[in-house]
Structure 1
Amino acid sequence: ASPVLHGINYLLGELDEKYLTTLREFGGLQSYPSRSKDPDPVDYSTGSVGIGATAPIWGAIARRYVDTTIGGAGTGRQYSLVGDAELDEGAVWEAILDTSVSELGEIVWIVDLNRQSLDRVVPNIAAGRLEAMFSAAGWQVITVKFGTLLESLFTQAGGTALRTRILDMPNPEYQRLLRCDAEQVRVRLPGDGPDAAAIASLIAGLDDDTLLNAIRNLGGHDLDALRAAYAQIDDTRPTVIIAYTIKGRGLPTQGHPQNHSSLLTVEQYEQLAAELGMDPNNPWARFDADSTAGRVCAASAEWLTRDPVDLATPPAVPADIGRTPTGTSTTQAALGRVLLDLSRQAPDAAKRVVTVSPDVSSTTNLAGWLNKVGVWSPNERRNWFDDDAETIMHWREKPTGQHMELGIAETNLVGLIGELGATWSRWGQPLFPIGVMYDPFVERALEPWSYGIYAGGQSILVGTPSGVTLAAEG
């Protein structure tokens, strides 16, 4: 997707032509979009599979946090374009299943379902199972399977049989059809089932070009079908649009199981240029400004232009908190005390602190801090244990709270503190996120945490000695 992003930015006037030949070069365009290294606009860095896909989820929460505690973060949707093979990553499902995600109506994922991995056609992509898993997590699921040409054929005599045949055939068989000419498609497509004759009769009335276009007419390539899907988005919950596509569509390599790294020959490149009405010797030519495409690019560039981000001046942080601790204590206990001392000695600086914990606030000495600042929630929620005399850690959820609690998934935690630490670059409001987890799990969190740092997120990760507070558990 990186070359596509850079290509779009070039057409929108956001990237100089000199960079177009520098993909993967040192100092050139990055093969995975990078906020810190690419010269053109990038909202989220990607790279490690599964982490970049989930970053907009944590970015959405960070935006909501800034908006409710400071203000001025605005609104807008957060989009992720996700490959179907990327859904194999555990980090993806850890994020999807977190209870804080199910209310994020600004999240939209578009899954590119092309049924191929790097090495092969995946025999059992199980799209229905993916749909059910997203739905069970509270997401709206919109499947864009067929384009308008195929849908029109399904309404004709034999159309129901054709639809069933395409839906029921194994992925590799369908991909093999994409490599066939029209004569071969007429032989292979009907199959040998009881409805073969009805299918053969239907496609017999199609000329060769229409037949070949029809078998390739999947919803992910049909703009009308995609527009209809976008119009159905429910803004009260996350949405996933599962778009069926063909890898390499329109190229001689389309549908081939080893097309991931394949290149066109000179002859194929020249043929493609002719089909697109382009000069093969001038591949970087922009659309004529007076053409329809040129006007669309100009209008889109104007619509997508963002005002520069004005960075708010961070509050002063005192060099001393005005108290010297006495006696012997643990660094874990000191963490909780320092946060409380900061709230007393430098309240403006303390207002920028947000702590995040994977369900271990009480055992990491954050109870006092949590009681003072409250738990962040987009909406205020009643604390049913407020009048319980034996409750010492009060779970008061409100839009101005400064502690966030996630489930026990360290990847989610560092993903969130990474985005909380990047709010200075998105909305001009610097935060001071502190993630706290048991020290044995820090190692698991390092790789996704480094992703946040690479993307400009500034945060502190604290590994607390779990043996101190969990000794009684054995």
Structure 2
Amino acid sequence: MIWQANHRTDKEKGDPKIGGHPAGCASSLHIMGALHLLVKSGFDHIANKPHASPTDHAYNYLLDNLLKSDLSKLSLDEANQAMHGLRKFTNGDEYVFQSYHSAYDPDQHNFFPSGSVGIPPVEAGYMALAYRYASEHGYDVPKDAHFWAVCGDSEFREGSMYEAVPDFSEREIGNLTWILDYNRQSLDGHRLVNNAILGGTDADRVERTMAANGWEVIQVRHGGKREALFAKKEGEAFKNFLEKELTDYDLQALLLVHDLKLLKDTLAKDYPSLKKFLTATADQDVYEALRDFGGHDMMSLAKAMMKSKESKRKPTIIIAHTLKGWGLKAAAQQGNHSSLPHEDEVEELRAKQGITGNTLYARFDDKSVEGKFLSARGEKIYADIKAQNALKAKNQDYFLTKLAEFGDMPSSLEINTKMTSYPHTQWMLGQLTAKLTRISNTSLNESELKAGQKALTDNEKPFKLPGELFISMAPDVGTSTNLNPAMDGKIFGAQEVQDIEAELGVKDGKLPDLVPGEDVTDRFLRFEIAEGNVMSCVGAFGKMRDIVGVPIIPLMTVYDFFLKRALDQYFYNLYWKSSFICVGTPSGVTLSPEGAQHGWKSDVQIPNQITWEPYFCQELDWIMVDAIRRHVLNDNAGRSGVLLRLVTRGAEQKDFTKYLSKQARFKVGLEGKLSRAEFPVAGAVNEEEVAAMSEAEMFAVVREDVLKGAYFLIDYRGYAGYEPGDNVINIFAMGALVAEAMKASEALLARGIYANVIVVTSSDLLTGIQAHENDYHYLRNELGINADLYLKKAEEISTGDLITVAGRRVPVVSVHDGEAGLLDNLGSIIGVRQECLAVRKHSKCGRPSEIFKYHHLDDASIVEACGKVLSETALEKVMVSEQALGEANQASHKAAHWTDLWPSATHSQKH
């Protein structure tokens, strides 16, 4: 496959090399053979190291398990086409394989995407946990599914894997087996480890490390030839030499020696303990035994794999000793990672398999022993695949039917914020998760209610099933991100802990009860400070909907700054199209007292992500409910990864209704133009004297806008004196900075400028990837933000044939807490001048008002930015001729600077 992919005839000039990893595939050949041919079921899941994915494709080709999306099998011609299509682009009219395991492959069933080393093995562990969680909560998932992960020995140094190692053992993930393809080589060449300090080879270190972390360890060092020699006289010395004396680097060097006499003489000279053994052993036997690794003994591997399944409480690691490049001329060579075989070697391999002519791929004859075995084995796996798909369909029908019992899901969880002083969005998160927790643990049968429990209201009943499906988790920040009610006495965990605090009478009832259990009411996963683990876990749980039809709704919280610690896992989740909610809170420099390092908010734009940053608590309510509804109804394609960015700065919630009720569109029976009571305009109506719609009516309209990405909070359209192109500006504010934008708008109105405030709830929907997909339709057409040119006569020139006019558009100022890239493309999208106020330097400690001023995000800075873009817009000129520019004798004009029109003490000089 790899050779053919690199020798296509349609190569274009400048194309990069196709590449591939034959040596890495050969290293894993027998490991994957044991899995595919002897051990795995169609319910098992596999994470293979990226470089060995062609090995899986080859086995699935032989097993006739290359499948279409409807699970029908590819024809032989289509299968051959796929084998020819490794790393080939397709428009969907032919089957191909991606470079690494992918959902686009025709054998993708229960394979984890494998493009990023160190992450798929962790996903396998948390998928195993998700299966157990689902089963313990009464949901139907495949029984006895096992989770396998093959990784390279260099990959095993990835921090993501070591972060997960103690977690999997503590959670007693017994149906997880990692297989270490221990070939002693990495991408750059031979692995050189410090044997003296590590106390042996890296395999020895791994064994001790994993055993110390509660894992079962199985070493598969030796093949049958070695075992036979061990049984002979002096054979124990040879075994001791291989296991205790020989370093990995020395072994790699010896594997490159093909002169039998030189090999034997070198061993005799350097290892005197082997002299008797070498004297009694033929040169050829010594040569073959040296490279007879257990990782290429399929039966030994299968035995070890079956042994690993016996452990029900401990995960297992199998250290399979292998030869990188097994069976190839590049075996054990220093630079063999990406080396390709020559055509003569390919021909030699074809000849050994009896493949003739132009055929590159061939299955065994159906009537041969091999063909019959492969057919029977393939059909057994295929039956499991279809059974899992049938279970998924059954689960999907069950949940959709169950969800419909109480009608459509309401748009809100109806959290009352009116009695709370200056609540913040992180507080609201706690209220929403607490209510879901209460609803999930309240019986619909009122006769079963516990003392103090209230019956569910009609609005709450539709949330009963989503509440039961809801699970939350955090990397040791559950209490500090307001998840206390979801945690209290509801920790899901296998670890048996005697509640000694309660027995001694010293338990603090005001703090969350963190003693774990596995009751159906336990729906919180507690973690140490391990952001990568939690991100992988939330992705695995979020994938249960697509794999087995159980739409578990996972939510994780993480301090927004530390989202970067798990960015690789986050990308993996989005690429994998997992459906989950990640809450970055608190976020940005708004968490000002905590200081500089935690304040940087990155502009994360990745396909399949939708980012929300609400200001009012009611916005978060709508957003959360919408995300839950879309998840359970499988209605979130292209946006299944939800990122909520929240803050701990309180906001006056009454401002929401206060400013909405001032808008002309929400006035009842309005005739004429409006004016603000503080600034009356002749002939206009005082807006306070015109009744507004009810809050519920206004919210019904605004909710739709919130969920589309932005809405007008302050809107002066319909006000007297409102002159676009003269005294109108649009302020786009996101998150905590909405408060500053409101103050700036009021200050500007006092100066005769109508500053609309558009609250951005989702930069992705307004200006990001999702917006780009529909050419920013909502921004341009539904919000009505455009680059219309408003012409006003400026001065006459000569006979009047030519006049100069001020061509003014409505400029934009954006303000948000984070990197500029979150909103700095608004002006270019619309086609107007924009000033983007964002965080462009490291922060300090202080209260929000001080920090906002330090970063020029405060209301005064917004006012200045508005003055700047209004003035710059006013300086634009358009030349118009009555004779269609036929006689354009343009007059010269002095170039002006915007500060001439908006003087400020802060401008000491003009640029």
Larger relative contact order (CA 8 Å, sep ≥ 6): 1
Q: Which residue of 1 aligns with 2:179?
A: 110
Instruction: Give deviations 1:406-434, integer Å, cap 9, x for gaps.
Output: 11110000000000000012211011111
- Aligned mates of 1:42, 1:122 — CA distance in 2: 34
| Aligned residue identity for 1:359 | D
Work out whether 1:143 is the aligned partner of 2:219.
yes
The one of 241, 244, 263 equivalent to 1:165 is 241
Q: Which residue of 2 aligns with 1:39?
A: 106
Q: Which residue of 1 aligns with 2:189?
A: 120
Q: Which residue of 1 aligns with 2:118?
A: 50
| Within-5 A mapping of 1:136-215 | 136-167=212-243, 168-181=245-258, 182-203=260-281, 206=282, 208=284, 210-215=285-290
SS in structure 2 opposite 1:177? Answer: helix
SS in structure 1 opposite 2:333? Answer: coil
- Aligned mates of 1:214, 1:193 — CA distance in 2: 16
Work out whether 1:319 is the aligned partner of 2:445.
no
| Aligned residue identity for 1:432 | I
Q: Is the 8 A contact 1:383 1:396 kept in 2?
A: yes
| Within-5 A mapping of 1:42-441 | 42-43=109-110, 44-73=112-141, 74-98=143-167, 101=170, 103-124=172-193, 126-167=202-243, 168-181=245-258, 182-203=260-281, 206=282, 208=284, 210-233=285-308, 234-279=311-356, 281-305=358-382, 306=385, 307=387, 308=389, 309-310=392-393, 311-312=396-397, 313-314=399-400, 315=403, 317-326=409-418, 327-342=421-436, 343-344=438-439, 345=460, 346-371=463-488, 374-378=490-494, 383-386=499-502, 388-395=507-514, 397-399=516-518, 400=520, 401-441=522-562
SS in structure 1 opposite 2:251? Answer: helix
- Aligned mates of 1:2, 1:281 — CA distance in 2: 24
| Aligned residue identity for 1:61 | L
Moved more, 446-455 or 458-467: 458-467
- Aligned mates of 1:236, 1:12 — CA distance in 2: 32
Q: Is the 8 A contact 1:186 1:200 kept in 2?
A: yes
- Aligned mates of 1:215, 1:12 — CA distance in 2: 32
| Aligned residue identity for 2:80 | E
Report the TM-score when normalising by structure 2: 0.49
Q: Is the 8 A contact 2:139 2:550 kept in 1?
A: no
| Aligned residue identity for 1:156 | K
Q: Is the 8 A contact 1:158 1:201 kept in 2?
A: no
Q: Per-residue deviation at 1:251?
A: 1.0
Q: Is the 8 A contact 1:270 1:280 kept in 2?
A: no
Instruction: Give deviations 1:157-193, integer Å, cap 9, x for gaps.
Output: 2322322333322323322322222233232333333
* Cα distance, 1:213–1:277 mapped onto 2, change above 3 Å: farther
Q: Per-residue deviation at 1:101?
A: 4.5
SS in structure 2 opposite 1:165? Answer: helix
Q: Which residue of 2 aligns with 1:464?
A: 585
Q: Which residue of 2 aligns with 1:5?
A: 56
- Aligned mates of 1:149, 1:349 — CA distance in 2: 58
- Aligned mates of 2:551, 2:500 — CA distance in 1: 33
Q: Is the 8 A contact 2:255 2:290 kept in 1?
A: yes
The size of the alignment, in residue pairs, is: 468
| Aligned residue identity for 1:429 | V
* Cα distance, 1:323–1:462 mapped onto 2, change above 3 Å: closer
- Aligned mates of 2:495, 2:266 — CA distance in 1: 57
Instruction: Give deviations 1:244-298, integer Å, cap 9, x for gaps.
Output: 0000111111110111111111211112222333336312111111112212211
Q: Per-residue deviation at 1:389?
A: 4.9
SS in structure 2 opposite 1:189? Answer: helix
* Cα distance, 1:420–1:66 mapped onto 2, change above 3 Å: same
| Aligned residue identity for 2:267 | L
* Cα distance, 1:330–1:216 mapped onto 2, change above 3 Å: same
Q: Per-residue deviation at 1:390?
A: 4.2
Moved more, 318-327 or 400-409: 318-327
Which of structures 1 and 2 has the bigger CA Rg?
2
- Aligned mates of 1:404, 1:370 — CA distance in 2: 8
- Aligned mates of 2:313, 2:205 — CA distance in 1: 23
- Aligned mates of 2:515, 2:464 — CA distance in 1: 20
Q: Per-residue deviation at 1:215?
A: 1.8
Q: Which residue of 2 aligns with 1:14?
A: 65
Instruction: Give deviations 1:184-232, integer Å, cap 9, x for gaps.
Output: 32323333333343133022xx263x44322211111112322332343
SS in structure 1 opposite 2:61? Answer: helix
SS in structure 2 opposite 1:435? Answer: strand
Q: Is the 8 A contact 1:269 1:280 kept in 2?
A: no
| Aligned residue identity for 2:182 | L
- Aligned mates of 1:26, 1:101 — CA distance in 2: 43
Work out the percentage of aligned pairs sharing the same amino acid. Answer: 30
| Aligned residue identity for 2:277 | I
Q: Per-residue deviation at 1:394?
A: 2.1
Instruction: Give deviations 1:381-404, integer Å, cap 9, x for gaps.
Output: 554445635443123533221111
| Aligned residue identity for 2:417 | P
SS in structure 1 opposite 2:320? Answer: strand
Q: Is the 8 A contact 1:102 1:137 kept in 2?
A: no
SS in structure 1 opposite 2:269? Answer: coil
Q: Per-residue deviation at 1:8?
A: 1.3
In the alignment, structure 2 segments of 5+ residues that lack a partner are 1-51, 67-78, 91-95, 194-200, 440-459, 596-844, 846-911
- Aligned mates of 2:100, 2:511 — CA distance in 1: 47
Q: Which residue of 1 aligns with 2:565?
A: 444
- Aligned mates of 1:93, 1:413 — CA distance in 2: 14
- Aligned mates of 2:530, 2:465 — CA distance in 1: 31
| Aligned residue identity for 1:94 | E
| Aligned residue identity for 1:96 | V
SS in structure 2 opposite 1:318? Answer: coil
Q: Is the 8 A contact 1:102 1:138 kept in 2?
A: no
- Aligned mates of 1:251, 1:161 — CA distance in 2: 30
Q: Is the 8 A contact 2:172 2:494 kept in 1?
A: no
| Aligned residue identity for 2:472 | T
- Aligned mates of 1:323, 1:392 — CA distance in 2: 23
Instruction: Give deviations 1:91-137, integer Å, cap 9, x for gaps.
Output: 00000022665511101111100000012111225211111010011
SS in structure 1 opposite 2:151? Answer: strand
- Aligned mates of 1:444, 1:69 — CA distance in 2: 31
Report the TM-score when normalising by structure 1: 0.92
SS in structure 2 opposite 1:461? Answer: strand
- Aligned mates of 1:432, 1:470 — CA distance in 2: 33
* Cα distance, 1:217–1:338 mapped onto 2, change above 3 Å: same
